[in-house]
Structure 1
Amino acid sequence: MSSKFYITTPIYYVNDIPHIGHAYTTIIVDVLARFHHLLGQEVFFLTGTDEHGQKIEQAATKKGKNPKEYVDEISKSFKDIWENFEISYDKFIRTTDSYHLQTAQKAFLKMYQRGDIYKGEYEGNYCISCEAFFTKSQLIEEKKCPDCKKETTLVKEESYFFKLSAYQDRLLEFYKQHNDFILPKSRYNEVIKFVEAGLEDLSITRTSFDWGIKLPSEIASKDSKKHVMYVWLDALINYLSALGYQNTLNNKMDFWPVNYHIVGKDILRFHAVYWPAFLMSLELPLPQHIAAHGWWTRDGQKMSKSVGNVVNPQEVVNAYGLDCFRYFILREVPFGQDGDFSQRALIERINSDLSNDLGNLLNRLLGMSAKYFNNHLKVDIQAFRTHYKEELESIHRTLMGLETLMQKVQINRYLEEIWKIFALANGMIAKKEPWRLAKEDKMQEVAELLVFIANLLIKSAICLSPCMPKTAEEILSVFNLSLKSKYYLEFIRDNQIVSEVVLMPISALFPKIEAPLLEEKQKEEKTQNFITKEEFSKIEIKVGTIMGVEVMPKSEKLLKLQVDLGEERERQIIAGIKPYYSAQELVGRQVCVLANLKPAKLMGELSEGMILAVKDEEGLSLIQPQMIKKNGSPIS
């Protein structure tokens, strides 16, 4: 593994303020940067703003400002939000920076002198919104952009062209030799199909507006001074100019080639086709990985300023907290797929995953440690390793597999694996019942269990830190530890175990959220959920008697019931009622059963129906007939 790690966001186009898509990309890059810091590498994390082009010029005019005033204002909004979000970037680049202009002009000149740039005339359809040209075959409804669906403009003007077509075979050969160049795999296949369909030379200058980088003086003769660089050539070069390539900055080209460009799927083609071709022309190594993520909707709808449903990430963070927001967007959707933001889903994640699984686990450790051991836990290391050998080995295997998931940018899977560890710990508490052990004066067993949970939380917090830095710091503070790369080496790779620890209590990490904290800007109309009598007649609800009950050992909620519905054999039904009923009080009780529910497996056991119950703030109660009825009697 190289000692250096270079990762970038795209530079964000400054036609509007940051939205959830920008936050998602930037947080993914921040996670990867923090993870590689943990591995002990020297990290260079680049982000910034893309500030040239016709769309910017038009947006500035609408605001009554000159382009530079306009881009200064919007660029600052990006820089401000990343500072508020504690994004760990190393450099924030702007394409209006003078050093970037130097690099762009020198790169253009080098490609020109190589023979890869020539002057001609361009006629084609141009989308101002996407800053992209499209052939007639690519357009939809004859004139509309295939990406944003807005109407394109027919452009005919003098232009300099890059010989993209000359690089088609080299690109295909490179993709073939580097099948992990584009992530996820579905995007890799998409890019290959695009290139195999044939590449046309790319128009890389414009003459119809002025807001852009002028051509180098060696090329800009009298008739070409009016040319400015195509915004995508200008923008992509930023990944080199930030490293001091061909400019006055300190030279950091030893970070090249970049390890990851993280981009949205809408700009994958520019990064995976045009950019590698430019780099081949500049005779520079190609990126190691280009990873493209999906888009975000809100409550199942495309976000739109006119509809008023655009998610402002700063507002969400102000209401729910930074780490909760980071966890939600990282866990909610597999990388590469589209995601949907809703307060309901966010609250469910906070209450279930963060409050119940993680927060409650830490609270239980702190509570029992204080109650039984005055916050000082100590066990014999050899006996502990022997008694928890299987569990410790299982956790180590899980943690060692996380690195591969992070390298593949499968961050949602990375988090899922960490949560399996929390589930294991909660399951161990339910299984061993330390309160019972304490009553039986088996305090050494209680101490070993709590030390096991302490080790589990230390290791998990270290691995969780790239995704939820503040939460990880708080958890580690309980054990008088902090976030250091040496701890990753010691506790994760070398599988170090602590046998003695003094715990420092902290307040609850994730209090339950009872109601949405943000006012919905657009209320959905409430509709009555009517069904017809015919639809109701399809439902079969029958009276049955519970004949047997088994506790499912790996679950805190589920019981396995055998129910007599007056059929040839008893039905097996898995019900989440363990917190409310004991096995003894259920046997012989008559209940109401949804009998024609499609059978399903729950935790590996077949469930052949559903027990009906009602729940309110007082708890849960089973629904049953007032008088004993014959098993199998239908309810209508």
Structure 2
Amino acid sequence: MIHTDTNRNTFAITTPLYYVNGLPHIGSGYTTIAADAIARFERLRGKSVLLITGTDEHGQKIQRTAQSKGLEPQEHCDKIVVEFDTLWQKLNIQYDRFSRTTSPHHEAIVKEFFGRVWERGDIYLGQQKGWYCVSCEEFKEQRELLEEKYCPIHSNMEAEWRDEQNYFFRLSKYQNQLEEFYQQQPDFIQPESRRNEVLSFVHQGLQDFSISRVNLDWGFPVPGAPQHTIYVWFDALLGYVTALLEPDSEPTLENALKKWWPINLHLIGKDILRFHAVYWPAMLMSAYLPIPDRVFGHGFLTKDGQKMGKSLGNTLDPVELVNRYGADAVRYYFLKEIEFGRDGDFNKTRFIDTVNADLAKSLGNLLNRTLGMAKKYCQARVPNIIASDIPVEHPLKFISLELGERVARAYQSLAFSEACREVLALVRASNKFIDEQAPWSLYKEGKQQAVEEVLYSILESVRLAAYLLSSVIPNISTDIYQQLGFTIDFNNQTMIETVAYDTHSIWGILPPNQKLNKPKPVFVPLEQE
């Protein structure tokens, strides 16, 4: 019996383990940005967080891709892994574990798990006949294929007919158990549209699926049957488990699962929903292991309203994008402008207009002009105002009273765009307030107390906005906090402990008389090309 820690203040989140047949694309970046934002938010809330990403490195597609380049499969994988890690650094992704399915530790975990399922009687040898998509690494049912037997996902890839002996997993055995589980745990699959897709698929009846291949060298051999290689999904999904091992611990399921399991959240693209929401929980049921809390399948990305693809020549290079515009701009656009869970579009003009309007004009300009006035009217210090003396009906304080709670709920439900809109409403109200109150006129009239109250309320609202957006735009939020006189760096996980969400998400904590630093632009406006 494997024991897991049920009394824990931990949060484990995963991106998919990305397939290394090619360079990372913007879709991979999108999922990972979202995962990083949630991980940062949970750290602010005081959770011990484990953000897992990594690469799925076995399978026929990898083998063929490597051969086409004159490389050994491992050599090809090593090259692509470097590219993923480089992109994560550029996007300011603070992952805790990078799981590679070619690691020796992973092989030990896969073999132990295979043995548990085998002993349960859920693996058997059978004949596999059907249409196989190499790109999906999956057999397709006849009803799923397009005309001329093309894959519905890889529409330029013709499925191959296979007739071979494989080992199978008894998925059909878990039909009723899965349906009961979905009813008992209605939040397991999100959003609702993805849940409905899975329920419909399962309701049609589940078929046992192949978990091995023959005539394939690139993968782990089936224990006791080395002519068979373990199928990529039965291997890859366990990469989430391998990632939980402490670096110096023996690679056993017991050691992997005792602290962080079950995973709190799997973030995936909707194209791999079936594997995570049907195959994976059934495999875990077979092995008598707890099932993760939640699987969230987000939508696809388009560019200028069109599906992206090499054949169309309209791919969006994430490395080029972040090199040109910076990590915070890219992170902000994809999380604010696209409702997470739905399909979304990238348009360069809209991208530049959005980040300029929100980050430069609304947020950055508000900070800059207010710091300038604080220098002129308050000797470059936070005005000597006690926040509790400002009445509740003050327009900015009133907006902010439950803002931290609303934003927290939005982050927890992965409604990033809603979180950003809530915060931007405070920023826009602050810009309106400073124009209406005109502290420069109040100063000329000798109303110093009124000036200080206006400037304090604006500076505190900017601080609160920066804090609540720090999971999305950590660099800009750090600049804002430091210009307000704090020493906080939102990219420093040790420092995060000093800015707990319970305290800093509340309006009114900016210390009176704190020395302010010299204003400088936190986001330089981008130019349309």
TM norm structure 2? 0.93
Q: Is the aligned partner of 1:77 residue 2:83? A: yes
Residue deviations 1:476-499 (CA, integer Å, cap 9, x gap): 001222142342232225964533
The whole-number CA distance in structure 2 between the counterparts of 1:388 and 1:253 is: 50
Q: How many residues align?
A: 510
The whole-number CA distance in structure 1 between the counterparts of 2:212 and 2:102 is: 17
Aligned to 1:625: none
Aligned to 1:462: 467
Aligned to 2:424: 419
Q: Is the aligned partner of 1:247 residue 2:237? A: no
Q: Which amino acid aligns with 1:93?
A: S
Change (3 A) 1:131 1:262: same
Aligned to 2:144: 138
| 3-state DSSP of counterpart to 2:479 | helix
| Higher Cα radius of gyration | 1
- TM-superposed CA distance for 1:228, in Å, is 0.5
Aligned to 2:168: 161
- TM-superposed CA distance for 1:166, in Å, is 0.9
Q: For 1:385, which of 361, 375, 390 is the aligned residue?
A: 390
The 5 Å alignment of 1:78-117 reads 78-117=84-123
Does the Cα contact within 8 Å between 2:333 and 2:354 map onto a contact in 1?
yes
The whole-number CA distance in structure 2 between the counterparts of 1:93 and 1:66 is: 20
Q: Which amino acid aligns with 1:377?
A: V
| 3-state DSSP of counterpart to 2:153 | coil
| 3-state DSSP of counterpart to 2:233 | helix
Does the Cα contact within 8 Å between 1:296 and 1:341 map onto a contact in 2?
yes
Q: Is the aligned partner of 1:498 residue 2:511? A: yes
- TM-superposed CA distance for 1:385, in Å, is 2.0
Change (3 A) 1:229 1:493: farther
Q: Which amino acid aligns with 1:237?
A: L
The 5 Å alignment of 1:460-609 reads 460-481=465-486, 482=488, 483=490, 484-487=496-499, 488-492=501-505, 496=509, 498-516=511-529
Q: Is the aligned partner of 1:44 residue 2:50? A: yes
The whole-number CA distance in structure 2 between the counterparts of 1:227 and 1:363 is: 65
Does the Cα contact within 8 Å between 1:102 and 1:246 map onto a contact in 2?
no
- TM-superposed CA distance for 1:47, in Å, is 0.6
The whole-number CA distance in structure 2 between the counterparts of 1:76 and 1:195 is: 38
Q: Which amino acid aligns with 1:225?
A: P
Residue deviations 1:582-607 (CA, integer Å, cap 9, x gap): xxxxxxxxxxxxxxxxxxxxxxxxxx
Change (3 A) 1:465 1:318: same
The whole-number CA distance in structure 1 between the counterparts of 2:506 and 2:231 is: 47
- TM-superposed CA distance for 1:341, in Å, is 1.5
Q: Is the aligned partner of 1:118 residue 2:131? A: no
The 5 Å alignment of 1:173-184 reads 173-184=180-191
Q: For 1:279, which of 266, 276, 284 is the aligned residue?
A: 284
Change (3 A) 1:382 1:84: closer
| 3-state DSSP of counterpart to 2:339 | coil
Aligned to 1:612: none
| 3-state DSSP of counterpart to 1:119 | strand
Change (3 A) 1:383 1:276: closer
The whole-number CA distance in structure 1 between the counterparts of 2:158 and 2:143 is: 15
Residue deviations 1:437-475 (CA, integer Å, cap 9, x gap): 222221211110111111112222121111111111100
The whole-number CA distance in structure 2 between the counterparts of 1:106 and 1:246 is: 12
Change (3 A) 1:39 1:342: same
- Unaligned regions of 5+ residues in structure 1, if any? 517-636
The whole-number CA distance in structure 1 between the counterparts of 2:387 and 2:464 is: 19
The whole-number CA distance in structure 2 between the counterparts of 1:175 and 1:142 is: 36
- TM-superposed CA distance for 1:340, in Å, is 1.4
Does the Cα contact within 8 Å between 2:387 and 2:509 map onto a contact in 1?
no
Change (3 A) 1:382 1:200: closer
Does the Cα contact within 8 Å between 2:423 and 2:465 map onto a contact in 1?
yes
The whole-number CA distance in structure 2 between the counterparts of 1:384 and 1:448 is: 10
Aligned to 2:18: 12
Does the Cα contact within 8 Å between 1:187 and 1:292 map onto a contact in 2?
yes
The whole-number CA distance in structure 2 between the counterparts of 1:290 and 1:493 is: 31
Residue deviations 1:151-178 (CA, integer Å, cap 9, x gap): 1111110011101011111111111111
| 3-state DSSP of counterpart to 1:477 | helix
Does the Cα contact within 8 Å between 1:103 and 1:246 map onto a contact in 2?
no
Q: Which amino acid aligns with 1:292?
A: G
Does the Cα contact within 8 Å between 1:159 and 1:207 map onto a contact in 2?
yes
Aligned to 1:270: 275
- TM-superposed CA distance for 1:135, in Å, is 1.5
Residue deviations 1:34-55 (CA, integer Å, cap 9, x gap): 1111011111111111100000
Residue deviations 1:554-595 (CA, integer Å, cap 9, x gap): xxxxxxxxxxxxxxxxxxxxxxxxxxxxxxxxxxxxxxxxxx
The whole-number CA distance in structure 2 between the counterparts of 1:324 and 1:252 is: 37
- TM-superposed CA distance for 1:251, in Å, is 4.1
| 3-state DSSP of counterpart to 1:358 | helix
Identity %: 42
Q: Which amino acid aligns with 1:153?
A: E
Residue deviations 1:318-351 (CA, integer Å, cap 9, x gap): 1111111111111110001112112211110122
The whole-number CA distance in structure 2 between the counterparts of 1:316 and 1:448 is: 42
Q: For 2:323, which of 315, 318, 323 is the aligned residue?
A: 318
Residue deviations 1:186-221 (CA, integer Å, cap 9, x gap): 1111111111111000111000321111112xxx2x
- TM-superposed CA distance for 1:89, in Å, is 0.6
Q: Is the aligned partner of 1:204 residue 2:220? A: no
Aligned to 2:178: 171
Aligned to 1:189: 196
Change (3 A) 1:59 1:508: same
The whole-number CA distance in structure 2 between the counterparts of 1:81 and 1:485 is: 27
Q: Of Structure 1 and Structure 2, which has the larger fraction of its residues in helix?
A: 2
Does the Cα contact within 8 Å between 1:207 and 1:226 map onto a contact in 2?
yes
The whole-number CA distance in structure 2 between the counterparts of 1:350 and 1:86 is: 18
TM norm structure 1? 0.77
The whole-number CA distance in structure 1 between the counterparts of 2:132 and 2:208 is: 15
The whole-number CA distance in structure 1 between the counterparts of 2:250 and 2:284 is: 14
Does the Cα contact within 8 Å between 1:180 and 1:289 map onto a contact in 2?
yes
Aligned to 1:235: 236
